[in-house]
Amino acid sequence: MFDASTNPAAVLFDLDGTLIDSEYYWMASERALAENHGKDWTEEDGKNLIGLSLDESSRLIKAHLQSDLEPVEIVRQLTDSVNNLLGSKVPWRPGARELLLTLREAGIKTALVTMSMRRTALQVVDAIGFEAFDVIVAGDDVVRGKPHPEPYLKAAELLGVRPEDCVAFEDSVNGLTSAEAANTKAVGIPNMMNIPAKSGRILWPTLDGVTVQDLQNLFRDE
């Protein structure tokens, strides 16, 4: 059993929708791609992709748009578009950047676990303003993306810690399912999508004001 008197072994952060409020950027990019194909793209279409790997998302987009583009080209175009938007503004989620700084000052290991491409992750990391992460696991670093547990299992392995001794923050059902399946102490922070409550699931309204003690408390009821 984890010793609740000490800090979590590591804290793992999703990127889109959790660390930054970038789902709107992805949806705008998807809509532009659809318009180039003479197709409609609704908000519901975009929400259906939240938390999925880019590989799976691109295949769903290709089918929806009846596109001649290969999935890898769809991923490239969407990533280029989102990175361009991030170059103008990185929209931080409330409390996320502040919590990261608190964790670094406390000497707690951190990882970014995202289904975005590594180049997108690095662009955001470069904008944080301090060395925020020990490890980055991106969509092009795994074989099976979220909701499979591989991304979180890989992050824990690279950090040299047990996943059950880690806290993971996610904003989507697909992402939270990945973190839960990896046996982390998974915490849902709903953003654009509702995350249904169920037995054993942890949901918080925000990361704003979250302290290290709050993270320690997650392990006290085990």
Averaged pLDDT score across all residues of the chain: 94
The DSSP letter of residue 92 is B
Is 14 an active-site residue? yes
Phi and psi (nearest 5°) for 202? -105, 125
Note the pLDDT tens digit of each residue in 166-220: 999 999 999 999 999 999 999 999 998 899 999 999 999 999 999 999 999 999 8
| Percent of the chain residues topping a pLDDT of 90 | 88
pLDDT top residue among 222 and 111:
111
Where on the phi/psi map is residue 61: left (φ > 0), alpha (ψ -120 to 50), or beta?
Answer: alpha
Residue in 3, 14, 165, 208 annotated catalytic: 14
- Burial of 143 (C-beta count, 10 Å sphere; 0-12/13-18/19+): exposed
Structurally, at CATH architecture level, domain 23-88 sits in Orthogonal Bundle (1.10)
pLDDT top residue among 2 and 151:
151
| 198 Cβ contact list (under 8 Å, min separation 6) | none
Cβ proximity of 146 and 115 under 8 Å: yes
Among 162, 157, 83, 159, CA closest to 123 = 83
Residue located via tokens 């880019």: 54
Domain spans, the chain: 10-20+92-217, 23-88
Note the pLDDT tens digit of each residue in 11-63: 999 999 999 999 899 999 999 999 999 999 999 999 889 878 888 999 999 99
pLDDT (average), residues 99-108: 97
* Model confidence, pTM: 0.89
Does domain 10-20+92-217 bear CATH number 3.40.50.1000? yes
